[in-house]
Structure formats: structure tokens, C-alpha cells
């Protein structure tokens, strides 16, 4: 017998990435991620029709990105994809199949994490691209427009990595992690990011916003108190925090005993 010819993390990733797209949850999120695209298209049509000022769609694009994507869609997608990595296995009582094969729990978690991360990132990335095309239709030849897209996409990737790792750890630790996650996203992150001084650095959104091409006061939408941190520091913090959360998720998952009920 030819044993261990392929990395188990890759096998789990490939299998769950494929089957994940069949899940009802993913279909709902595909629709959800199209909302900004529809709004962007509407803005574009209104601008063309003269109902909006010229170049208003570019400004609208930045707002759509910030408010709908970075403050809503990315955290929510990361929350549902991340927290269900372990919780769905518990709810469906399927964890037993992945923990009675000769594969480490670390490989199981990382495989499932990568599948969920890539699914969520693809949903966001596709929406981003469509929004960008709608907003920058007249300036697709400009390098600045593509640079702007690259910054948004890069930041989205980091944001998704960090948030999903956090919610994976939360899901590995507790069963009701979605509720806690919602409180974190819409409570802690929404409020504390506007606190002056160092306090806002205790949110993930602070580091994300520090990377976005929106200056304090500019754009004007609820960002007037942002005191951005340097870009490189923000990248390192987001990468570091994501790695720490992921390590924590693995640490918990390897040691925790999951009770699938009916323990007769």
C-alpha cells in the first residue's frame, strides 16, 4: 500500500472547498455579496443619467467598499464561514469522521480553514471586481484605478484572513460563537473604532481602515475620528493577529473534547 502520498490538509481543503459551494449558506452569501454590486451599478446608471454629479460613482465606490465590504460583508462572511468550521461539524455530528482517521487535528482544522477562507475571499473578490468595473468604467486605462483596486483587494485579503482566523478560534472554543461574533462585529468594532487615542487600536477595523485610501475627514462617513496607523505596521499587525488567532484555533481544537450529545 502506498501510504501518505498527499498532504491531508490539501485533501481536506479540496474536498470541503468543493462541497462548500453546495451548502445553502454559501448560496445566501453569494446573493448577499452581490448587493454592493447592484448598488454600484445603480450609482453608475444615475451618474450616466445625470442624476448624480460627474465622478460621483468613484466617491460612491470608496464608500461602498468601506461601509458595505469592510465594515459589514467581510466581518459577517468571516464570522459565518469561520465559526462554522468546527460548529457545523458539531451540529451535524460529523466531527467523528475527521477525528477517527490517522490525520492530526491541526491538519483537519487548517484544511477546513483554508477552504472556508478561500470561499469567502472569492465571494468578496468577485463582488469587488464587479463593483470596480462598474465604478471605473471610464478610467480602466488609468494605472491609478488599478492601483486603487489592488489596495482594496489586498486589504480585503488581510481583513478576511484576520477576521476568519479569529472566528475560527471562537468557533473551536465555544458553541454559540456566532452570537459572540455578532456582538464583536456590531458592538465592539463599531463603537471602539471611534474612540480617540490608542483604544481604537484594539479593533481589527482600525488596522484595516489604516490601509484604505480614505483620509480622516475625507469621504466623511463615520471615519472622522480615525487616527490611522502606518501602513506597514497595519499589515504586520493584521498578519500577526491572524496567525496568532489561527494558532489559538489549532491549539484549542487539538485539546478540546467535543461532546456530540446522546452520551449514553
Which residues are near another protein by CB under 8 A? Answer: 1-6, 8, 11-12, 15, 19, 22-23, 92-94, 96-105, 254-255, 257-260, 262-264
Please, which residues have CB within 8 angstroms of residue 237's CB and are 6 or more apart in sequence? 207, 229
- The smaller minimum CB distance to another protein, of residues 101 and 140, is found at 101
Report in angstroms how near the CB of residue 180 gets to another protein at its nearest. Answer: 22
From CA 131, how far away is CA 211, in angstroms rounded? 19
Where does residue 80 rank: exposed (0-12), middle (13-18), buried (19+ CB within 10 A)?
Answer: buried
From CA 114, how far away is CA 79, in angstroms rounded? 14
Report in angstroms how near the CB of residue 178 gets to another protein at its nearest. Answer: 20
Within 10 angstroms of residue 137's Cβ, the number of other Cβ atoms is 13
- The smaller minimum CB distance to another protein, of residues 97 and 183, is found at 97
For the CA atoms of the chain, what is the radius of gyration? 20
- The smaller minimum CB distance to another protein, of residues 6 and 49, is found at 6
Report in angstroms how near the CB of residue 19 gets to another protein at its nearest. Answer: 5
Report in angstroms how near the CB of residue 15 gets to another protein at its nearest. Answer: 5
Q: What are phi and psi of 168, to 5 degrees?
A: -65, -45
From CA 120, how far away is CA 169, in angstroms rounded? 17
Report in angstroms how near the CB of residue 1 gets to another protein at its nearest. Answer: 6
Please, which residues have CB within 8 angstroms of residue 190's CB and are 6 or more apart in sequence? 71
Report in angstroms how near the CB of residue 141 gets to another protein at its nearest. Answer: 44
Where does residue 99 rank: exposed (0-12), middle (13-18), buried (19+ CB within 10 A)?
Answer: middle
- The smaller minimum CB distance to another protein, of residues 103 and 235, is found at 103
- The smaller minimum CB distance to another protein, of residues 91 and 218, is found at 91
Query: Pseudo-torsion of CA 148, 204, 106, 116, nearest 10°?
Result: -50
- The smaller minimum CB distance to another protein, of residues 245 and 253, is found at 253
From CA 117, how far away is CA 164, in angstroms rounded? 7
- The smaller minimum CB distance to another protein, of residues 93 and 176, is found at 93
Cα–Cα distances (Å) from 182 to 24, 50, 72, 122, in that order, read: 20, 39, 11, 22
Report in angstroms how near the CB of residue 175 gets to another protein at its nearest. Answer: 14
Report in angstroms how near the CB of residue 13 gets to another protein at its nearest. Answer: 11
- The smaller minimum CB distance to another protein, of residues 188 and 258, is found at 258
Amino acid at each position: 500500500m502506498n501510504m501518505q502520498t498527499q498532504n491531508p490538509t490539501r485533501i481536506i481543503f479540496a474536498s470541503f472547498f468543493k462541497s462548500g459551494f453546495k451548502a445553502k449558506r454559501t448560496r445566501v452569501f453569494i446573493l448577499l455579496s452581490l448587493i454592493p454590486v447592484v448598488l454600484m451599478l445603480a450609482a453608475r446608471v444615475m451618474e450616466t443619467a445625470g442624476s448624480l454629479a460627474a465622478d460621483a460613482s468613484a466617491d460612491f465606490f470608496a464608500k461602498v467598499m468601506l461601509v458595505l465590504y469592510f465594515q459589514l460583508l467581510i466581518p459577517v462572511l468571516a464570522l459565518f464561514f469561520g465559526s462554522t468550521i468546527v460548529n457545523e461539524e458539531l451540529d451535524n455530528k460529523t466531527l467523528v469522521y475527521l477525528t477517527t482517521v490517522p490525520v492530526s487535528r491541526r491538519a483537519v482544522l487548517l484544511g477546513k480553514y483554508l477552504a472556508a477562507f478561500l470561499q469567502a475571499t472569492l465571494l468578496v473578490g468577485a463582488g469587488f471586481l464587479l463593483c470596480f468595473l462598474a465604478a471605473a468604467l471610464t478610467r480602466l486605462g488609468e494605472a491609478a484605478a488599478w492601483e486603487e483596486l489592488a489596495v482594496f483587494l489586498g486589504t480585503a485579503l488581510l481583513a478576511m484572513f484576520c477576521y476568519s482566523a479569529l472566528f475560527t478560534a471562537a468557533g473551536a472554543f465555544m458553541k454559540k460563537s456566532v452570537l459572540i461574533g455578532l456582538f464583536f462585529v456590531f458592538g465592539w468594532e463599531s463603537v471602539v473604532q471611534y474612540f480617540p487615542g490608542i483604544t481604537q487600536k484594539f479593533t481589527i477595523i482600525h488596522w484595516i481602515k489604516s490601509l484604505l485610501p480614505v483620509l480622516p475627514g475625507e469621504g466623511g462617513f463615520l471615519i472622522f475620528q480615525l487616527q490611522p496607523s502606518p501602513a506597514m505596521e497595519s499589515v504586520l499587525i493584521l498578519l500577526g493577529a491572524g496567525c496568532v488567532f489561527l494558532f489559538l484555533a489549532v491549539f484549542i481544537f487539538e485539546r478540546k473534547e467535543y461532546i456530540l450529545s446522546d452520551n449514553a
